[in-house]
Amino acid sequence: MAEKTRELIVETALRLFRERGFEATTMRAIAAEAGVSVGNAYYYFTSKEQLIQAYYDRAQAEHEAACREVLAVERSFAGRLGGVLRAWVRISEPYHEFAVKFFKHAAEPSNPLSPFSAESAPARESAIAIYREVVDGSTDRMDSELRAELPELLWLLSMGVVLFWVHDTSPGCERTYRLIDCTVPLVDRLVGLSHLPGIRGVARDFIEVVRELRV
């Protein structure tokens, strides 16, 4: 019963966020639409921001499930990466209108709703874990140090895809799919060259820059 109530509140909140916008939607309005008391709504979620974090967690779980098939059968790095990115666009389609309205909040570096915030760490780490599966399950050769750093770099790439998707007004977000289809072969080519003697040094220098910026 408790889980059903929690899910009802999340569903109601996401619908109201889509219809009215994040700022205009109050916890009182969410409770009223869900048919629960305000106190009960606050029992499950202390703020609207926590409801967005619940959306992040749900979207991440849906993405993980959508990736299972391609990760189970595909062994090439490009196939795995492209499949995972395309799966994200596919499962996110129902939330596109909401994301357009909500993005200004998530884009603020100090906002807890930012995908880079401490509050978003669980969803972020789960997302990086998917890209770790992409790399670990690939049979392609690549530099060993780059392989260790690649999951987080691929997650950053996915954030670029998200940004493009938010502003994509093409039917069925076909331009975002085209971006993925054009970008993945380039990434695949660079990763594939990383183990070669003439390129390995450049790859290692790039990794050092990434590590320094992370600190």
Do the beta carbons of residue 131 and residue 151 sit within 8 Å?
yes
Interatomic CA distance for residues 122 and 204, integer angstroms: 29
Do the beta carbons of residue 54 and residue 10 sit within 8 Å?
yes
Rounded to two decimals, the pTM is: 0.85
Q: What tokens were used for 178?
A: 């085209």
Interatomic CA distance for residues 85 and 207, integer angstroms: 23
> Residue 189 corresponds to which amino acid?
R
Query: Which residues are CB-contacts of 15 (< 8 A; sequence separation ≥ 6)?
Result: 33
Pick from 181, 179, 203, 184: nearest CA to 193: 203
Tens digit of pLDDT at every position of the chain (215 positions): 788 898 899 889 888 887 887 888 899 999 999 999 998 889 888 888 888 888 888 888 999 999 999 999 999 999 999 999 999 999 998 888 878 777 777 778 788 888 888 888 888 999 999 999 999 999 999 888 888 899 999 999 999 999 999 999 999 999 999 999 999 999 999 898 887 776 777 767 777 776 776 65
CA angle 96, 102, 108 (to 5 degrees): 130
CA angle 5, 97, 18 (to 5 degrees): 35
